[in-house]
Amino acid sequence: MELFKIFTIIKTYYHNAGTIGLIAASTLRQLLPEEMLFQTAIPRDEIYIRASAKGLPVGVLEDGGGAETVFDSLRAEVQAKLGKSRHQAHIQPD
């Protein structure tokens, strides 16, 4: 009996400039199948902390437009992956 299944993995608070972040991202890409990793990465930015502290989505903050774009990209990826997953569930019996 399968209790749960890992659908995909997203990198959060990713710091492009840091060596450790680059190594971690590279290692994930080597270890896991491409379809298990989102292409969108949530960057390390204090705007997420401010939005969270206020209980608001980042997009409503005055300087949150760029951060909102990242989440729109993530939303599109989730929808695409869910669509593929649902389609495959109809094709392949459990």
**pLDDT at site 53:** 92
How high does pLDDT run on average in the chain? 76
**pLDDT at site 42:** 79
* Residue type at position 86: R
Residue 88 has pLDDT above 90, yes or no: no
Q: Whole-model pTM?
A: 0.60
- Is 58 exposed, middle or buried (CB count within 10 Å of its CB: 0-12, 13-18, 19+)? buried
What is the average pLDDT across 59-65? 89
